[in-house]
Amino acid sequence: MAINSVGVVGAGQMGNGIAHVFALAGYDVLISDISQDALDNAVTLIDKNLERQASRGKISEDDRKAAMGRIKTTLNLADLGQTDLIIEAATERETVKQAIFEDLLPHLKPNTILTSNTSSISITRLASRTDRPEKFMGFHFMNPVPVMQLVELIRGIATDDETYQTLLDVVERIGKTAASAEDFPAFIVNRILMPMINEAVYTLYEGVGNVQSIDSAMKLGTNHPMGPLELADFIGLDTCLAIMNVLHEGLADTKYRPCPLLTKYVEAGWLGRKTGRGFYDYRGETPVPTR
């Protein structure tokens, strides 16, 4: 299966990063979103990030120009139907993702591969709502996409070998490394990472340590580049909570129960960096712990 063109659903943080790496690797990329502002912002950000790579000598100026020339945008989701590979990178809500795939179905080419960048939702379940479960996979990129080397490839129960091999080749072409995961809640990375973050929130909730001491302990004591609470703010506390709920509901084990303090922060709208407040307050010159 030859992949030459890629459709990206969603122009947010993950979507624009995915578009960036695919355009740089030589694919024609079409980004779709419901907001023209989001599309315009995505193109501006991709250009800025490519310029940064060029200024550091990681890519040439010709590479940058060529990559930007391969990126197009559309407000019409149906336009993505003529691409060879579609990567859904919308919000982490199953109903939203299902609606996107249902809207795409009438417009797809027979051989178009469908994928989701979901960090936790069942690939088998998403695939079952389409007309091509054998050509459906989880294609989970890490944030920020241009920097992080890993891509989790998740096969649904119906995914065929040709689709899997095709995506393995795609991952290699974009210069990333694939980790193959079975289709169980949160796959590999978030199955391990999110309970650690949730335990850090419990450690805060129970008064074992404050925000600064917890993050310092993990950075200096275990050599993590970022503390778990700082990382949670970077990911988005709403996303962390959504993944913990998927783990808790999908595996029915109390060890995955989301910490009440994490729920409280999300209810307050303190979702981390993207809202200006989370476990740290980002509204000043330097982040200040909120507890």
Give the residue numbers marked as catalytic.
119, 140, 152, 190
Rounded to whole angstroms, the Cα distance separating 74 from 107 reads 15
CA neighbor of 151 nearest in space, from 139, 161, 163, 143: 139
Report the 3 state secondary structure along 4-32: CEEEEECCCHHHHHHHHHHHHCCCEEEEE
Strand ranges, E, within 47-135 = 71-74, 85-88, 113-116
Please, which residues bridge with residue 74 across strands?
32
Contact 151, 141 (CB under 8 A): yes
Looking only at the bridges linking them, the beta strands covering 85-88 and 113-116 are parallel
User: How many angstroms separate the Cα of 253 from the Cα of each of 127, 181, 191, 232, 262?
Assistant: 26, 20, 13, 22, 18
